[in-house]
């Protein structure tokens, strides 16, 4: 399907800069997509839109924010109180970060469920993980900027993780801080990087979309596109569907933004940073909680590696392991719809991550059940962490080998089943 | 698949077009409304606006002296003029002035001269009680202002600007 | 399977969430009806104004509201002239300089001028050291963001002021506080006893080794016998809490001891609008004021939010029909 441009000026322009056909091939009538994509496929474009919202509100906030330990907190309150619609910009940006993670986490779990990471989409998947890592770094540094208690102590705790690195630990941490504690130099460099990284993110997102277009979207059946009868053009079908999804998402976002804008944050961050007083519970933002739980669940040394370093390794490994997932999963079938055992295990992983999130929010020594005081959150966290890694390292290969998948349909457009699977 | 752009079936097509146009229009209105906060945030904020007027107590300014107050980030000269200064200012022939203005046009009460202390040439701050006309003198490029703050000699094109102000009482003026 | 899995997750969530409050050393705040809660909630102007009066006459002696400017008071219904008068009559001046650019007068005191509406409300103390020196070493926190800086802020501060001190706490509140403290002490004792048993075992082993060494004529250090943890005092009164002398009991304050003595009482402030000056009323009013101070743009936020939601609902319904129309020829 090729694009017809009727307007003379646009034809003139297109001849000199073929941007219309570029768009048409990216998100227009010339981009064929599987015809059976479900609403779980909305979250990719949604993530892109949230990224734009974050960049625009972020640039606005930067016009009023002062990156100095003496003024940062007050400049944020100046935005909240005196700048025209400043409260809106600030709440949009702060809650937008949470929205970004909600959308991206759903996007990732969708990929896990329908096997979107499998051949030939491994590089697409890698780029997605890189996006997640950049997002995390950006969100972490952004949270430091208001210079509240949780900003300061969160920054202190997380940057201190690097002191676990053998030999060079202390040098690395001093290098990160630009001093001997989290202070003005740290705030300034975090501000600089927080402004830079989103644009790097945009670059990786473009690569992510590029890789997507090479082999097109996966689909709920997880089978390849066999021919034009299996596809429909992205525009108007998926633009319409994505816009409707955007509307639903904006309603959800607005409810939080306008009526409970502080529900996802920590109250301690409304207290100005005080390097001499540590809050009772240092808790990261909700989107980091599962990883924080993994970090804290390592309380034992292993061979020559001490617990602190091991915790840091475990935390990073919990994300980095996703890079090798395409090879840990040995199944030839993509979609969990046709993988009865994996389907169950997928939901167990989902619950495991939720539980790890709860554990991350609690004090480690707090008992899980008031009736059983010896079973503490740190114990639950250790079980959860163990299961998390067992899922990827043990279960994924084993299930792939031993599971008998259900028969796959012949093609997307023909619901006829193709004999008996394997 | 069939194309969606073929128009075709009379009644259904109109209804469909109406739906698309209505949705598009509503979306456009919403987008425009959403853009406004992003524009408005660059306007002066509430704390800046609160400083847009300054109240000055003039009771302590002796005759023949002046004070400088800051208004909207700019210096404002408030001078308690002597009878002699007022007389000199009124005696000037308007014909030869670069920016002809009577003294009356420049003051509300003759003894009080209130003006923005920025040279109309290139924005330097003129010095008081100086220059050939016993008014103000700008050291940057040698502009001379008289006792009414009018430009008399030098490169400046206009008289010193009079800010909006009012007398709240005999002792207090509100600038801005 | 999926359902049962989700149910299981929900169950975990519930059990863990319900256990959350028992652990801390404070009673769960009393829940009050506020005009500012809910999607349509607005500030009760009269209460906020009275609350400002309470702040000015009672709290302002020690606590600042440094993020508020006098001009903000116009937003809660004071007229421009009233605000000017309030600013001019404020006890504490704004540091300034005289004609010679000096900021300190001949007596060595800072030169000040009367505040004007565009000024922030001045703090009672010039700096943290002065504040601590005047308050037994404790720092009275700034109140501008207090309501947002505490969980369930409005109810928490209200409970603390009106129902938390020994004289104002209800029987039930005291009972609950004692129960929580006793449970915490019991658990701490149990943990200490477990540790003690372990230590005792280790001590026995060491003691044997020591005795053998002594019998063999070798030099050895005599191990120290671990001390048995003391049984905790059962709390039946505020005294049993064992707070230090400069601390006041408050059932809603973490750890029970607060440096601030009960600041409000019946008729602490005389209202000009005829509202009954009860302790609860004072607390309600000052919390209303503090809630406004913490987020003066709240009403704008909710008002715009309602409009945005209505708009989005209509647009999304239309988008749904557009989507259906577009997809009507796909099978």
Q: Quick one: pLDDT at residue C4?
A: 56
Q: Which long-range contacts (CB under 8 A, 24 or more apart) does A387-394 make?
A: A387/A348, A387/A349, A387/A352, A388/A294, A388/A318, A388/A349, A388/A352, A388/A353, A388/A356, A389/A314, A389/A317, A389/A318, A389/A321, A391/A345, A391/A348, A391/A349, A391/A352, A392/A321, A392/A322, A392/A325, A392/A328, A393/A321, A393/A328
- The pLDDT of residue A389 is above 90: yes
- The pLDDT of residue B7 is above 50: no
Give tens-digit pLDDT for B87-143: 888 888 888 888 988 888 899 998 899 999 999 999 899 998 888 888 899 989 989
Residue A255 structure tokens: 């409810």
Contact call for A259 and C305, based on CB within 8 A: yes
Note whether residue C163 is domain-resident. Answer: yes
Instruction: Determine the Cα–Cα distance for residues A398 and A382; give it in Å rounded to an integer.
Output: 22
B80 given a catalytic annotation: no
Residue C109 structure tokens: 């005191």
Contact call for A85 and B41, based on CB within 8 A: yes
| Residue A354 in contact with partner chain C when CB distance is under 8 A | yes
- The pLDDT of residue C7 is above 60: no
Do C143 and C272 belong to one domain?
Answer: yes
Contact call for C316 and A247, based on CB within 8 A: yes
Do C152 and C71 belong to one domain?
Answer: yes
> How sure is the predictor about C3, in pLDDT bands with cuts at 50, 70 and 90?
low
- 3-state SS assignment for residue B23: helix
For an interface test with B, give the residue of C118, C324, C328 to mutate (most B CBs within 10 A): C118
Window 193-212 of A: residues touching C by CB (8 A cutoff) are: none
Q: Quick one: pLDDT at residue B5?
A: 45
Contact call for B37 and A81, based on CB within 8 A: no
Q: Crossing angle, helix A8-16 and helix A19-27, to 10 degrees? A: 90
Min Cα distance B88 → chain C (Å) is 29
Boundaries of every domain in chain B: 10-43, 49-175
Specify the CATH class of A24-417 in words: mainly alpha
Do C56 and C196 belong to one domain?
Answer: no
Which ipTM was obtained for this model? Answer: 0.92
Contact call for C9 and A354, based on CB within 8 A: yes
Compute chain C's Rg from CA coordinates.
30
Contact call for A368 and C304, based on CB within 8 A: no
**Higher pLDDT residue, C16 or A114?**
A114
Instruction: Pinpoint the alpha helices (H) of C216-278.
Output: none
Distances (CA, A) of A273 to A189, A276, A330, C62: 17, 9, 49, 21
- Residue C197 structural domain: 174-241
Whether A77 contacts A276, CB under 8 Å = no
Instruction: Choose the weakest-confidence range: A239-253, A383-397, B9-23, C276-290.
Output: B9-23
Tell me which residue has tokens 């230590």.
C199
Rounded to two decimals, the pTM is 0.88
Note whether residue C118 is domain-resident. Answer: yes
How large a percentage of chain C has pLDDT more than 70?
92
Q: Quick one: pLDDT at residue A386?
A: 97
Interface of B with A (CB under 8 A): 1, 4, 37-38, 40-43, 45-48
- The pLDDT of residue A370 is above 90: no
Do C54 and C73 belong to one domain?
Answer: yes
| Residue A370 in contact with partner chain C when CB distance is under 8 A | yes
- CB-CB: which of C99, C314, C321 is closest to B19? C321
> How sure is the predictor about B145, in pLDDT bands with cuts at 50, 70 and 90?
very high
- CB-CB: which of A64, A78, A84 is closest to B40? A84
By C-alpha distance, which of A146, A129, A167 is closest to A265? A146
How large a percentage of chain A has pLDDT more than 70?
98
Q: Quick one: pLDDT at residue C97?
A: 80
Total domains in the fold of chain C:
2
**Higher pLDDT residue, A422 or A244?**
A244
- The pLDDT of residue C106 is above 90: no
Specify the CATH class of B49-175 in words: mainly beta
CATH code (residue C68): 1.10.760.10
Q: Quick one: pLDDT at residue A58?
A: 98
Sign of CA dihedral B25, B27, B28, B34: positive
Give tens-digit pLDDT for C60-104: 999 999 999 999 999 999 999 999 999 999 999 998 887 777 888
**Averaged pLDDT score across all residues of chain C:** 90
> How sure is the predictor about A415, in pLDDT bands with cuts at 50, 70 and 90?
low
- CB-CB: which of B1, B40, B48 is closest to A85? B40
- The pLDDT of residue B39 is above 80: yes
Q: Quick one: pLDDT at residue B17?
A: 87
- CB-CB: which of C72, C300, C312 is closest to A250? C312
Note whether residue C112 is domain-resident. Answer: yes
């Amino acid at each position: 399907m090729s694009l017809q441009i009727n307007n003379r000026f646009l034809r003139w322009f297109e001849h000199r800069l073929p941007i219309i056909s570029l768009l048409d091939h990216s998100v227009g009538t010339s981009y064929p997509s599987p015809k059976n994509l479900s609403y779980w496929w909305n979250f990719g474009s949604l993530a892109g839109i949230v990224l734009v919202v974050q960049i625009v509100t972020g640039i606005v906030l930067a016009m009023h924010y002062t990156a100095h330990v003496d003024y940062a907190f007050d400049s944020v309150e100046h935005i909240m109180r005196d700048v025209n619609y400043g409260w809106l910009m600030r709440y949009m940006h702060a809650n937008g970060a949470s929205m970004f993670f909600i959308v991206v986490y759903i996007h990732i779990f969708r990929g896990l469920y329908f096997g979107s990471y499998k051949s030939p989409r491994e590089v697409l998947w890698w780029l997605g993980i890189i996006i997640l890592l950049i997002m995390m770094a950006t969100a972490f540094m952004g949270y430091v900027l208001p210079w509240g208690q949780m900003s300061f102590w969160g920054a202190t705790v997380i940057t201190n993780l690097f002191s676990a690195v053998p030999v060079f630990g202390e040098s690395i941490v001093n290098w990160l801080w630009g001093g001997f504690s989290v202070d003005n130099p740290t705030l300034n460099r975090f501000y600089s990087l927080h402004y830079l990284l989103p644009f790097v993110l945009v670059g990786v997102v473009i690569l992510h979309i590029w890789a997507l277009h090479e082999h097109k979207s996966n689909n709920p059946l997880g089978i390849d596109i066999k021919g034009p009868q299996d596809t429909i053009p992205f525009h108007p079908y998926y633009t319409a569907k994505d816009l409707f999804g955007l509307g639903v998402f904006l309603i959800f976002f607005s409810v939080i933004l306008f009526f409970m804008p502080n529900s996802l944050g920590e109250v301690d961050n409304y207290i100005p940073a005080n390097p001499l007083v540590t809050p009772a519970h240092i808790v990261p933002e909700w989107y980091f909680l599962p990883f924080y739980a993994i970090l804290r669940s390592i309380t034992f040394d292993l061979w020559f590696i001490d617990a602190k370093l091991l915790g840091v390794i475990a935390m990073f490994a919990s994300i980095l392991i996703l890079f090798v997932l395409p090879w840990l999963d040995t199944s030839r079938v993509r979609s969990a719809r046709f993988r009865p055992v994996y389907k169950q295990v997928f939901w167990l992983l989902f619950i495991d991550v939720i539980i790890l999130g709860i554990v991350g929010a609690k004090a480690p020594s707090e008992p899980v059940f008031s009736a059983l005081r010896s079973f503490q959150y740190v114990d639950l966290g250790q079980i959860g962490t163990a299961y998390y890694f067992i899922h990827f390292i043990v279960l994924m290969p084993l299930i792939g080998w031993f599971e008998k998948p259900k028969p796959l349909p012949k093609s997307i457009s023909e619901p006829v089943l193709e004999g008996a699977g394997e | 698949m069939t194309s969606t752009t073929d128009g075709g079936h009379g009644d259904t097509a109109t209804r469909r077009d109406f739906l698309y146009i209505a949705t598009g229009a509503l979306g456009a209105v919403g987008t425009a409304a959403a853009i406004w906060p992003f524009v408005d945030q660059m306007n002066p904020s509430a704390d800046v606006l609160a400083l847009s007027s300054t109240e000055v107590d003039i009771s302590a300014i002796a005759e023949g002296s002046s004070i400088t107050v800051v208004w909207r980030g700019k210096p404002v000269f408030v001078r308690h003029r002597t009878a002699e200064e007022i007389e000199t200012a009124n005696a000037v022939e308007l014909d030869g002035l670069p920016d002809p203005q009577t003294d009356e046009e420049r003051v509300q009460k003759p003894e009080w001269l209130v003006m923005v202390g920025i040279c109309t040439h290139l924005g330097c701050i003129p010095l008081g009680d100086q220059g050939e006309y016993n008014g103000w003198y700008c050291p940057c490029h040698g502009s001379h202002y008289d006792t009414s703050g009018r430009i008399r000699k030098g490169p400046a094109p206009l008289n010193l600007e009079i800010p909006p102000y009012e007398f709240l009482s005999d002792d207090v003026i509100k600038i801005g | 399977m999926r359902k049962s899995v989700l149910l299981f997750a929900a169950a975990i969530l519930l059990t863990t969430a319900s256990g959350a409050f028992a652990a801390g050393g404070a009673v769960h705040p009393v829940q009050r009806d506020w005009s500012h809660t809910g999607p349509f909630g607005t500030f009760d102007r009269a209460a906020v104004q009275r609350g400002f009066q309470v702040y000015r006459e009672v709290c302002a002696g020690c606590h600042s509201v440094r993020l508020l400017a006098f001009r903000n008071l116009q937003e809660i219904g004071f007229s421009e002239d009233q605000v000017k008068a309030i600013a001019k009559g404020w006890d504490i001046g704004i540091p300034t300089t005289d004609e010679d650019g000096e900021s300190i007068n001949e007596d060595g005191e800072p030169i000040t001028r009367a505040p004007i509406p565009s000024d922030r409300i001045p703090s009672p103390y010039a700096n943290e050291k002065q504040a601590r020196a005047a308050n037994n070493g404790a720092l009275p926190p700034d109140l501008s963001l207090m309501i947002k800086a505490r969980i369930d802020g409005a109810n928490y501060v209200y409970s603390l002021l009106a129902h938390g001190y020994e004289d104002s706490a209800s029987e039930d509140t005291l009972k609950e506080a004692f129960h929580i403290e006793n449970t915490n002490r019991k658990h701490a004792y149990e943990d200490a006893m477990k540790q003690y048993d372990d230590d005792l075992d280790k001590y026995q082993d060491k003691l044997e080794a020591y005795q053998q060494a002594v019998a063999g004529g070798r030099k050895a250090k005599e191990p120290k016998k671990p001390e048995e943890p003391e049984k905790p005092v059962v709390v039946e009164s505020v005294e049993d809490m064992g707070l230090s002398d400069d601390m006041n009991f408050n059932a809603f304050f973490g750890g029970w001891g607060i440096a601030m003595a009960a600041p409000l009482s019946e008729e602490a402030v005389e209202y000009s609008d005829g509202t009954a000056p009860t302790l609860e009323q004072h607390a309600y009013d000052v919390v209303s004021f503090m809630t406004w101070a913490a987020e003066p743009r709240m009403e704008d936020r909710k008002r715009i939010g309602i409009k945005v939601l209505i708009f989005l609902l209509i647009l999304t319904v239309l988008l749904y029909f557009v989507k259906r129309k577009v997809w009507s020829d796909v099978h």
